[in-house]
Amino acid sequence: MPKYIIEREISGAGKLSDQELKESSQKSLDTMKKMGPQIQWVQSYVTDDKVYCVYIAPDEQSIREHAEQCGLPVNRISKVTNIIDPTTAE
For residue 82, what pLDDT is reported? 96
For residue 39, what pLDDT is reported? 95
Domain of 59, in residue numbers: 3-81
Check which CATH number belongs to the domain holding 45 and give it: 3.30.70.3090
Let me know if residue 86 belongs to a domain.
no
**3-class state of residue 60 by DSSP:** helix
Let me know if residue 18 belongs to a domain.
yes
**pLDDT average, residue stretch 69-90:** 95
Helix, strand and coil percent figures for the chain, each rounded to 5 = 40, 30, 30
For residue 53, what pLDDT is reported? 98
Please give the Cα distance from 40 to 33 (Å, whole number). 9
Let me know if residue 55 belongs to a domain.
yes
pLDDT tens digits, one per residue of 6-51: 999 999 999 999 999 999 999 999 999 999 999 999 999 999 999 9
**pLDDT average, residue stretch 73-81:** 98
Let me know if residue 88 belongs to a domain.
no
Residue 8: CB atoms within 10 A of its CB come to 18
For residue 67, what pLDDT is reported? 96
- Domains in the chain, number: 1
